[in-house]
Structure formats: C-alpha cells, structure tokens
Structure 1
Amino acid sequence: MPLRKARAAALLSSPEDTEAQFYEALQQGDLDRLMAVWADEEEVSCVHPGGPRVVGIGAIRATFEAVLSQGPVHAMPERVRTLSNGETSIHNVLERVQVQGPKGPQSAWVIATNVYLKTAMGWRMVVHHASPGTANDVQEIIEAPAVLH
C-alpha cells in the first residue's frame, strides 16, 4: 500500500481523525485527500453555505473541485459538539473561515453538521451540511440540565 493511502487509513480510525483530515484537506486545497474521508455510498450528501443539496460522491467531488479551484479554504473547526453511538457520530461545528476582505484578513463564520459512519474502511463522512453564520454564533445558547445528579 502506498504511504499516502496507508496514512489516510490510519487517520480514519475515529470520527475525530476523519474530521481533522477533512479540515486539513480543505486548508491544503487537497481534493483527493478531502474525498478520501467520504463514504462510498450513493446517498452521501453535502450542502455548501447557501447552496443546494448535492447527493452522490461524484457530484460532491465536482462541487469541492469548484470550491478548491479558487484556492485552499482556511476553515478551522471550533466549538465542536458531538453526539455518538457505536457506529454513528454527529458533530455540530462552528467553523471560523479566514477570508480576505477589503481591510485584510477577516473571520467569517459557518455553522456545519458533519455526520460520520463507521464502515469496514474506518470512519467515513456521509453528510456535511454547512450554513452561513455570523459572529453572533460564537455565543452559544445552552440549556442547563433540568435534573442535577
């Protein structure tokens, strides 16, 4: 197995490793590495901020190819909230995206939900749904537990 594929397989040993590879690939503009995190399933889906639902690995690849043709995406996951069971992990992520504005580098915000499924090939992404956010989204509204233990 080539070193690159062996490295990718090792990085997909947990949902957190898969998520780290997804964001690293975006930041490096590496389409092949980004697509390696996706499950090989017909019903995988992706929604880019303000965009339509994209279904299927070929269509998802085409949209990320278009995005990365503009250069790497400097998205940093922050405030990750995780809900997991044995074979599924759902991550709600606040993404800080560095963009070049008229006054220099600025932060833009995206709220994303990433869903991972444990497969025979390790943990793979099956859904990435991203919505435009604002700086106000940095503030979280969290309900306090109703029962104290």
Structure 2
Amino acid sequence: MQSRSKAQAAALLASPEDTEQQFYEALQQADLDRLMEVWADEEEISCVHPGGPRVVGLGAIRAAFETVFLQGAIPAHPERVRRLHTGDTAIHQVLERVQVDGPDGQQSAWVIATNVYLKTAFGWRMVLHHASPGSAHDIQEVIEEPSVLH
C-alpha cells in the first residue's frame, strides 16, 4: 500500500476524533505507516507503552511500534473517552479494551490511556500517547459530584 501524502492525510484528520479513530484502526491492523501518519512532526512528541519507558521523537516512536507489531496487531478498542478541547489542543482520556488470548479463550484486558492532539497546518495530530496497564476495576470511574446544585 502506498503511503498517503500529508495533505491527503490532513483531509482525513479534520478533528481529534478522526485522528483517534485512525490511530486505533492502525493498531488493530498493525499498519505502521498509517499509524505514523497520525503523529505530529515535532521533536518532543512522546509515547509510553504500558510498563515501558518514555519514547521521544518520530524515529523512536516508529521503532517502538515496529517492535510491538512484530507480535501482531493490537486489538485495542476505546471503550470510554473523556474529552477536553481547548483551542488547538485536545486531551482524550481513554479506557481501552484489549482482546487477549488466554487459557480460557479470548478475554478482555484493560489499558488506561491519555491521548493528546494538537491542531497543525496538516490537521489534528497526536503529540502524546501515554498508556498504563489497567484492571477490571478501572471500568468503574470515581467522579466528583458537583458541590453546587443548580
């Protein structure tokens, strides 16, 4: 498959949600080129895989995902997304469900991720993906109740 140009990819990344969808589809298909298209072309972009070190820069992030994809696709599905958008920045807190094969067949594992997007001349691009291992308990959220009733 031929890689799309930045201008073509920008048309597909018109919102942070478009970028996030492409990111997860690329993970599910182990499509390294498509996955790298969602990243901003900035020196300080970074990625943290569950239990791993901080990886900084396009080349290092590409190499890290290339290594991950040697094990196959990542069946990660965003289950719950909390979004904060302000100006040219979007922060998505994501509860990811990852299907894994276990002794009793396929089971769900949970990952808590933070995805940060920046609006660029080429559309919305990812500048941070930080994923931490989660548990079934993490599907429950602790939410502060409003202190003022309206």
Please indicate the TM-score interval, normalised by the length of the shorter structure: over 0.9
Q: d(CA) in 2 for partners of 1:11 and 1:148? A: 41
Gaps of 5+ in 2: none
User: Could you tell me how far 1:3 is from its partner in structure 2?
Assistant: 9.0
Which residue identity does 2:37 align to in structure 1? Answer: A
Is the Cα–Cα contact under 8 Å of residues 3 and 34 in structure 2 kept in the other structure?
Answer: no
Gaps of 5+ in 1: none
Alignment of 1:45-64 (within 5 A): 45-64=46-65
In the alignment, which residue of structure 1 is the partner of 2:95? 94
User: Could you tell me how far 1:117 is from its partner in structure 2?
Assistant: 0.2
Alignment of 1:1-149 (within 5 A): 4-5=4-5, 8-149=9-150
Size of the aligned set, in residue pairs, is: 148
Aligned-residue identity in percent: 76
Q: d(CA) in 2 for partners of 1:130 and 1:31? A: 18
User: Could you tell me how far 1:4 is from its partner in structure 2?
Assistant: 4.3
- 1:72-127 superposed Cα distances (whole Å, 9 cap, x missing partner): 10000011001110100000000000011111111000000000000000000000
User: Could you tell me how far 1:11 is from its partner in structure 2?
Assistant: 2.0
TM-score normalised to structure 1 length: 0.95
Look up the SS of the partner of 1:67 in the other structure: helix
